[in-house]
Amino acid sequence: MTITTKNGAVRTFWEGRWHDADVAVMKASDHGIWQGSSVFDGARRFDGLVPDLDLHCARVNRSAEALMITPTCATEDMIAIIREGLADFAPGRAVYIRPMYWALHGSDLGVSPEPGATGFAIALEECAMPDPAYATTLTRTRFRRPVLEDNVCNAKAGCLYPNNARMLAEAKAKGYGNALVADALGNLAESATANVFLVRDGVVFTPIANGTFLSGITRARHIANLRADGVEVVETVLTFDDATQADEIFLSGNFAKVTAVAEFDGTLYPHRPMTERARSLYMDWAAGTRL
C-alpha cells in the first residue's frame, strides 16, 4: 500500500526498484548527511502532462557533477524509471518528481566526495498544483545570494537551501509570504524560492543570469513563450527600485509554474494581465507536449 504524507501518496525508487513507501535511503555515516553533499531536481506531473522532464533529469546530473558527485543514472534511463513509477498513480493526480543524488563516502580528509560512491533515489509525491488565484506578497531580506567563489550556485544543491529558509523566515516574521533577494552587488536576483519577472509598460524584465542564482528551466520556458507571442522580454540588471516601479511582478518556478504577486513592501499590484498571459501561454505550451 502506498504511504501517504501530509501532501499525498509517496513512491520511492531506490536500489534498482520502486517501493510503495517514503523509504529511508540515507545512513548516518553517508557523506551527504554530515557534509551536505546532496543535489536534487524537481519536475511536475499535472493534467497528465510531464513538461520538460528530460531537462530536469539532465540538470540533476549536472548538479551532481558540480558538487563532485559521480552521477550514476543516464538522463534517458532516469526518464524511463520516472514514467514507470508514475504509472501507478491515478491519471488525474498531480505528482511532484524529485530525482536526487548524494555522496556516500568522503576522501581528502573526508571532506571531498569520493568518486564513484553515490547514492541515488527518486521520490514521487502526490502534491496538488497551487491555486492559480493565489497571489503572494514580497519584502526585502538582509540575506543575499552567494557567488560561485563561495558556494555551488551552479547546482540545485541541498546545502543552498538553509539560506533560502532564512530569507523566508525573515519575510514571514514581517508578515509577508516571500522575499525579494539581492545578489552580492545589491542588484535584484530572484525571490527566496523562485525566479522573478517584472512588467512595465507591456515589457517583461527579468534579472540577467549572472551565476548567483539558478536560471530555471521554467524561467526559460516563460521567456520563450512570451517572445513567441510577441512580448518583448529583456534580461538585464535590475534593482529594487525597478520592482517598486513595475506594473506587475510574478514568480516563476517548477512547483507552481507562475505565482502572482500582490505586493512588494507596500507597493500594490492589483492588475496582473501579463501574469495571467504567462500562465496561459505556459499551459498551452505544456498541453502541446502531451505524448
Amino acid at 230: G
Whether residue 190 sits in one domain with residue 158: yes
Whether residue 100 sits in one domain with residue 152: no
Confidence (pLDDT) at 6: 60
Domain carrying residue 66: 3-126
Return the DSSP state at 46.
B
Q: Identify the domain boundary among 126, 159, 178.
A: 126
Confidence (pLDDT) at 281: 98
Residue 209 pLDDT > 90: yes
C-alpha cell of residue 170: 525573515
Angle between helices 75-86 and 53-66 (to 10 degrees): 130
Whether residue 214 sits in one domain with residue 277: yes
User: How does residue 289 score in pLDDT terms, banded at 50, 70 and 90?
Assistant: confident
Q: Identify the domain boundary among 126, 145, 179.
A: 126
Mean pLDDT of the region 22-44: 96
Angle between helices 273-287 and 217-228 (to 10 degrees): 100
Residue 138 pLDDT > 50: yes
Mean pLDDT of the region 215-239: 98
Mean pLDDT of the region 23-41: 96
Residue 46 pLDDT > 90: yes
Residue 26 pLDDT > 50: yes
Query: Contact at 8 Å (CB) between 219 and 209?
Result: no
User: How does residue 8 score in pLDDT terms, banded at 50, 70 and 90?
Assistant: confident
Distance between CA 69 and CA 118 in Å, rounded?
7
Mean pLDDT of the region 14-18: 97
Whether residue 274 sits in one domain with residue 140: yes
Distance between CA 109 and CA 173 in Å, rounded?
40
Q: Identify the domain boundary among 126, 150, 166.
A: 126
Confidence (pLDDT) at 3: 52
Query: Contact at 8 Å (CB) between 212 and 153?
Result: yes
Pairing relationship of beta strands 203-207 and 233-236 according to DSSP bridges: parallel
C-alpha cell of residue 278: 504567462
Whether residue 118 sits in one domain with residue 205: no
Mean pLDDT of the chain, nearest integer: 95
Residue 40 pLDDT > 60: yes
pLDDT digit string (tens) for 57-74? Answer: 999 999 999 999 999 999
Confidence (pLDDT) at 5: 59
Chain Cα centroid distance, residue 287? 21
DSSP letters of 203-249? EEEEE---SSS---HHHHHHHHHHHHTT--EEEE---HHHHHT-SEE
Whether residue 255 sits in one domain with residue 112: no
Categorise residue 266: left if φ over 0, alpha if ψ from -120 to 50, beta otherwise.
left
Confidence (pLDDT) at 1: 40
User: How does residue 16 score in pLDDT terms, banded at 50, 70 and 90?
Assistant: very high
Confidence (pLDDT) at 124: 98
Whether residue 282 sits in one domain with residue 141: yes
Whether residue 203 sits in one domain with residue 119: no
Residue 27 pLDDT > 80: yes
pTM over 0.85: yes
Domain count, the chain: 2
Whether residue 26 sits in one domain with residue 153: no
Whether residue 119 sits in one domain with residue 142: no
